Structures are given as structure tokens and as C-alpha cells.
Structure 1
Amino acid sequence: MADTYSREMRENGVVRLPGLVGGAELAELRSAAGRLEESARDRSASSGDFVLEAPGIGGWAAWQQGAGALPGVLRSVDRIHVHEPAFDAVQRSLGLVEGPVRAASGAAGTLVNAFLWAKPPVVGSAKPWHQDMAFAPPGFAAGQYGIVTIWIALERAVPSNGCLEFLPGSHLLGLFPHTGDRERLPGEAPLRHAVEPRVADEHLPRTADPVAMPLEPGSAVMFDGMVLHRSAPNTTASEPRTAVSFVYRVPRPAWTRGEPAAAPV
């Protein structure tokens, strides 16, 4: 299995992990996610680590513009392992560091962040094409380190409710130009016309077709921080798409040591 993970990560930048979580551990992840959702019930605007969904423009843009959001309806939560230590406890009990992460990258890695990704029915907004390494914080030392993310579905994720899509092999092509606005810092004035960072269509590589990754609850996908990915809006009437992701810093794999892509491929 380790050889399979390593080969698929090296060649495609993404690996399926069917049935990764089950039983009590899946129940605990769902319970912790429910506690985060409950803690957001009285929120009327995005702030700190909590982003609320907003119809039409999406939660991220509304947050950056200081625009209205849907009270209590989460789109995402950052640093969930800090807000709810149960998330950290579950990823430890699953052995993700010494298991899939080591198998894929050749090193155990270190947990650096964890997220809740909520995409509610009808109003769940899209996430445009991007590479996670484009958002590495200052001091990350991207020349020495990369990231591996394990994204776990807590509910069924399918194309109609916004499962992840990937461009296999795009992690081999360097960092693509991302257009849009950076996330404003605490205390900075709202942006009047915020545009979520993305890789524009004209800069996308044409080396492979997008591949959707539908997942059953408890199944996961593991991917390199340089692989291009996105998710569509949730167009269903009653199927929420909720997931959590764990982000690990690893010694930068040799296959990602390319120069940034200078032009569309």
C-alpha cells in the first residue's frame, strides 16, 4: 500500500483513501463538527476563523467585503483542532502522520492546520481552481517544505453537492499565477469588490481533464499542496456536503521542485 500511495502521489498528486474513518472515530468527527456549527448559531457575520456562507457572492467574498451573510450558516472554520481538540485526537488515533502521510511523501510530517468545510444545500458556494501552496504563510520555507492534505468526507460528497475536483499531474508543473485579492488582515478595511484568489482558466494546464472525487462518508482523498483543485457549488435541495481536512508539513518532495509555470501549458 505504501508503494501505491507513493506512486500515485508522485504521478497524479492525489490519492483516494476509501473507508479511512469509520465507527466511533467518524462519529466523533461528526460530533465535533456539530459543536462548531452550534457555536456559530449566534454569529451574524464572518470573523476570526469562522466564515459564514452568503448567497450570490459566496462566503469568502462577503467576508472580505464586510457584506451580509446568512446568520449561523457556516462555510468554513480554520484551526478546528484548536477550537475542538477532538479533531486532533482523532487524527492521532487514526495514525495519519505515520500512515498515509509517510507512505505518500516518505516522511511523517507535522500537523500545521485543520479545517471544517461546510457546503450547505442551495447556497453552498464554489471554490475556484487553486493550489494550496499559493497560500503558504510567511516563514513557511516553501523551498524546503511542502504540504500534504487529507480531506475526509463526513457526509456523501458528489458532483451535485460540490465534491472536490483535481487536475492530475498539475503538481509537477510548478506554481501557477493566482489572481484575486489576498485575505485582509485583522483591522484592515473591507475590500469593496473582493475576488477570491484563483488560477484563471487561461492559465490552467491542458495536460489532463478534471477528475471529480466523489466520496462516501468516512472516505478521504490525500493530495499534494501543488496540485490544482476546486469544488462546484452545492446545487442540491437537501444534501449538505461537510468535510474536514488535516494539513501536514512535509519535507518538500523532489517532484515539486520545479520553477513556477511561466505560461499556460
Structure 2
Amino acid sequence: MLDLDLDCAARDMEREGFLRLPGLAAGGTLAGLRQGVDRLRQLAAARTASDDDFVLEAAGTGGWAAWQQGDAPLAGVLRSANRIHRHVPAFETLQHSMGLARGAVAAAAGAEGTFVNAFLWAKPPVVGSAKPWHQDMAFAPSGFEPARHNIVTVWIALERATARNGCLEFLPGSHRLGLLAHAGDRERAAGQAPLRDAVEPHVADADLPRAHPPVAVPLEAGSAVLFDGLVLHRSAPNTSDEPRTAVSFVYRVPRTVPLPAAR
């Protein structure tokens, strides 16, 4: 289990909305996460279209927009995957063995977390698309009551995450602003007609807080960043020849401070 200074972790989360976790996954744990990703890629290898669980990358357009528009993606090239613990049960076992819910999540959020979901976030070399500014609470699944619950995500880099290959960026302190309006299109349901000129949900530039500049969080393989469900974050496109692969584990936590008023 990660050795954290509990008081410092809580203070950093309160002030910034995110917390670096150097060396969170190492040795057999890191190897197990990578093996799980290899299995996901095997499951996606024959795919030629995206769906709710497997989104394929699309050069130029981006995986999400291509999926919503019905455009042809890059066959078998994953941009992201949802509910990965259902496709590869080892992911749920690994998050449990790391003690995240009772360890890092509890230290940062002030209460033990309940595991609710896991994702793959892949940015293939050169074509890996950007993710715009957003708050995870805007996409909270059913069962969340924003007045009572928050989301805490633990995002683990499986390869080096750098400014060139699309590491995460955060707006410090933005979690104290409440839930901001998100522009763009809602994901179409199965059977609905493709969208025209699909725009991924995001917080518009004019609505972004300006008190602090964005902070990039590069990570070494096995290191992680933990963040609040209301903190604004994004990632740039991968312009390098190095892949950027990460998995994230999402936890529901009791809200320990009142939810800021929505804007």
C-alpha cells in the first residue's frame, strides 16, 4: 500500500483538487496492469467500429467524434475502453490488491471509496487525439447523488506520460467552483442516427476560470495522479512517436463538504 502523509494528501486535494502518487504501481502490479491492457487490445483487434465500451481512434477526426458521426475509425486501434474490469476481471482484482479505496482515496477524500468503474485511456503515437477541458462529475453514472457523493479517480500511467504524448493537465482549485456548464453533444444512444459535426462535451474556453494557469502532470510509468470529480482537466494530442497508455479506477466517496453551487 502507498505510504502517504495523510494530512498533506488532504491539504493538497483541498487546495489543488489533484494529488500526485509517485510509484503507485510497480513490479508485478504494473506488469499485471500492462497484461490487462494487452488483453483489451486483443479483444479490440478485429473491431472496425466503436461502441459504448470500445472507442477506436480516428486520425484527424478523433475517436469520439468519429464514433458519434459514424465515420470509419482506425480498425483495431483503441483510443479508450469503458468498464474494463468486466472485460478483464484482473483489473478489479488489481485495484483491490493496491488498497486504493481504503488507502490513497480515503487519505485524499477523507472517506473510504467504493469502486464503481475502470477505464483504459490510450493515445496511439502521432494520431492520439486530444481530450477537451471537462469535469468527471458531468458524466457521473446512475446511482450518484451530487449533494451526497463525489467522484475520485486514480489515473495510472503505464508508460511515460509527457507533454508531447498527452499527459493530463489540471486547473488547480477549479473543483471549488461547482459543476460548470458543458457544451457539445451528448453521446447518441444505440440505434440513433449519426450526428453531424459532432462536438465532444467540454467546458467552453470563455467559461474556464483564469485564476491559475493549467498545470501539466507528467508521470513515469507506474506513477499516478488522483483527482476530484469537479476539477477541470484535459489532455493534448499525442504528437510524439511514443504511445501514452493509462488506466483509471473510479470511486464514489461520501461528500464531506457541501457541493458548490452549479454555474
**TM over 0.5: same fold?**
yes
The answer as to 2:242 corresponding to 1:252 is: no
Matching residue of 2:153: 149
State the distance in 2 between where 1:221 and 1:67 align.
Answer: 33
Matches within 5 A, 1:33-182: 33-182=37-186
Q: Which amino acid aligns with 1:195?
A: V
Distance 1:93 1:139, change over 3 A: closer
Q: Which amino acid aligns with 1:121?
A: P
Deviation of 1:139 after TM superposition, in Å, equals 4.0
State the distance in 1 between where 2:141 and 2:191 align.
Answer: 18
Matches within 5 A, 1:17-32: 17-32=21-36
State the distance in 2 between where 1:62 and 1:260 align.
Answer: 31
The answer as to 2:211 corresponding to 1:197 is: no
Q: Which amino acid aligns with 1:259?
A: A
**Secondary structure of 1:128's aligned partner:** strand
Cα deviations by residue, 1:42-72 (Å, 9 ceiling, x for unpaired): 1011023000000111000000111110000
Aligned-residue RMSD, C-alpha: 0.9
Q: Which amino acid aligns with 1:141?
A: E
State the distance in 2 between where 1:198 and 1:168 align.
Answer: 17
Contact 2:146-2:259 at 8 Å conserved across structures = no
State the distance in 1 between where 2:143 and 2:254 align.
Answer: 15
Q: Which amino acid aligns with 2:247?
A: V
Query: Which blocks of at least 5 consecutive residues in structure 2 are unaligned?
Result: none
Cα deviations by residue, 1:99-151 (Å, 9 ceiling, x for unpaired): 00110111111111100000001100000000000111344211110000000
Q: Percent identity?
A: 66
**Secondary structure of 1:161's aligned partner:** coil
After superposing on structure 2, the runs of 4+ consecutive aligned residues of structure 1 that deviate more than 3 Å are none
TM superposition score normalised by structure 1? 0.96
State the distance in 2 between where 1:253 and 1:8 align.
Answer: 15
Matching residue of 2:239: 235
The answer as to 2:7 corresponding to 1:3 is: yes
State the distance in 2 between where 1:204 and 1:47 align.
Answer: 30
Q: Which amino acid aligns with 2:126?
A: V
Q: Which amino acid aligns with 2:154?
A: I
State the distance in 1 between where 2:169 and 2:256 align.
Answer: 22
Q: Which amino acid aligns with 2:224?
A: A
Contact 2:83-2:117 at 8 Å conserved across structures = yes
Cα deviations by residue, 1:235-265 (Å, 9 ceiling, x for unpaired): 01x20000000000001231x621013xxxx
Q: Which amino acid aligns with 2:118?
A: A
Matching residue of 1:208: 212
Cα deviations by residue, 1:77-115 (Å, 9 ceiling, x for unpaired): 000011101111111111001100110111111111100
Number of equivalent positions:
259
State the distance in 2 between where 1:153 and 1:70 align.
Answer: 23
Query: Which blocks of at least 5 consecutive residues in structure 1 are unaligned?
Result: none
State the distance in 2 between where 1:128 and 1:39 align.
Answer: 27
**Secondary structure of 1:233's aligned partner:** coil
State the distance in 1 between where 2:259 and 2:8 align.
Answer: 21
